Amino acid sequence: MPDPCETRNHPAWLTGIKSVRATALALLEWVAPPCCLLCRLEVEYRHGLCQGCWAKLPVNEIHCERCALPMAHKSLCGHCQRCPPVFDSVIAPLRYQDPIDQMLCALKYHQQLSFARTAAGLITDTVRESGEPRPDLLVGVPMTHRAVRKRGLNQAVFLARLIGRQLGIPAKSTLIKKLRETDRQSTLNASKRQRNLKGAFHCKGSLEDKHIALVDDILTTGATANEISKVLKVAGANRVDIWVCARTPEVLR
Ligand SMILES: [Zn+2]
Ligand SMILES: [Zn+2]
């Protein structure tokens, strides 16, 4: 699917400049092909990585059928059996371990945006291979305005925009608002966990019969994704998928 921004009608002079730029970039790539974002030694093979680094990615091959938790056998994990999540499915191509943990930290905390291309590429490849119905809208997991100002980037919204362009699906970053700061679920006891996320998110507008994919870099406890899925379904969404680059192993829930 072409980038929607590239399909508009431009004046002839602008189209001319664009084609000169594209030719110059193609020539530059031929003279000096882009190198791997991780090892910086080899030529890029796929989504910013060389063939060797690509082959070492920790693929999340065997996992829970519902929440993509890494497992030894493909089935439903204990948590999904006891308490099925509100979201309908999870796309999580990798397990959260070396080297993807370093790449996602560099993206999130040091604004190394080139790693977003790798993460978005991995997600779109998996979505295409899955053959699942495509959502109507993509939404990045929101942060409060204060947190975005402090960090400088909401990596989930950034990823949602990149994936949306690649798949031709609109990404709407203003659909869900985070109203207040929350603590990390894994640091809290059971009673505090329930209070922590309650009422923290708000959906603007109706989503009658819409299929939504909620995008983030990592899925850890799944509690935030579950809470936002509740809010989306209360607003009328008929299906909510979670799209992340990596899934962490079992954590206390
Ligand atoms: Zn490499
Ligand atoms: Zn599960």
Tokens of 66: 């519902």
pLDDT class for 157, splitting at 50, 70, 90?
Answer: very high
User: Which pTM was predicted?
Assistant: 0.85
Q: What average pLDDT score do residues 33-43 get?
A: 89
Q: What's the CA-to-centroid distance between 61 and ligand 2, angstroms? A: 14
d(CA 88, ligand 2 centre) in Å: 11
Q: Where are the alpha helices (DSSP H) in the chain?
A: 12-31, 51-55, 78-82, 100-110, 114-130, 145-151, 155-167, 190-197, 223-234
Confidence of residue 193 (pLDDT cuts 50, 70, 90): confident
CA–centroid distance, residue 31 to ligand 2 (Å): 48
Residue 7 in this model has a pLDDT that exceeds 60: no
Nearest bound ligand to the CA of residue 68: 2
Domain ranges of the chain: 58-247
Indicate the CATH number of 58-247 among 3.30.1480, 3.40.50, 3.30.70, 2.60.40.
3.40.50
Q: Comparing 51-65, 174-188, 203-217, which segment has the lowest mean pLDDT?
A: 174-188
From the CA of 33, how far away is ligand 1's center (Å)? 13
- List pLDDT tens digits, range 94-129: 999 999 999 999 999 998 999 999 999 999 999 999
- pLDDT at site 24: 72
Distance 68 CA to ligand 2 centre (A): 6
Comparing 200 with 2, the larger pLDDT belongs to: 200
Angle between the 155-167 and 100-110 helix axes, to the nearest 10 degrees?
Answer: 110
Q: What percent of the chain has a predicted confidence (pLDDT) above 90?
A: 69
Residue 244 belongs to what H/E stretch? strand 239-247
**Spatial contact of 249 and 70, defined as CB atoms under 8 Å apart:** yes
Q: Which ligand number lies closest to the CA of residue 77?
A: 2
Residue 43 and residue 35 in contact, taking contact as beta carbons nearer than 8 Å: yes
Confidence of residue 8 (pLDDT cuts 50, 70, 90): very low
Q: What is the pLDDT of residues 206-215, one digit of tens each?
A: 999 999 999 9
The answer on pLDDT for 190 being more than 70 is no
54 Cα: distance to centroid of ligand 1 (angstroms): 7
CA-based nearest residue to 228, from 251, 200, 205? 200
Query: What are the two backbone dihedrals, phi and then psi, of residue 105, each rounded to the nearest 5 degrees?
Result: -65, -40
Bridge partners of residue 171, in order along the sequence: 138
**Has residue 2 got a pLDDT over 60?**
no
The CA 158 to ligand 2 mean position distance, Å, reads: 27
Nearest-ligand number for the alpha carbon of 63: 2
State the DSSP H helix or E strand holding residue 213, giving kind and residue range, or none if neither.
strand 211-219
CA of 221 to the centre of ligand 1 (A): 30
Ligand 2 centre and the CA of 80: distance in Å?
4
Residue 147, helix vs strand vs coil: helix
Q: Residue 9: pLDDT above 60? A: no
3-state secondary structure of 127: helix
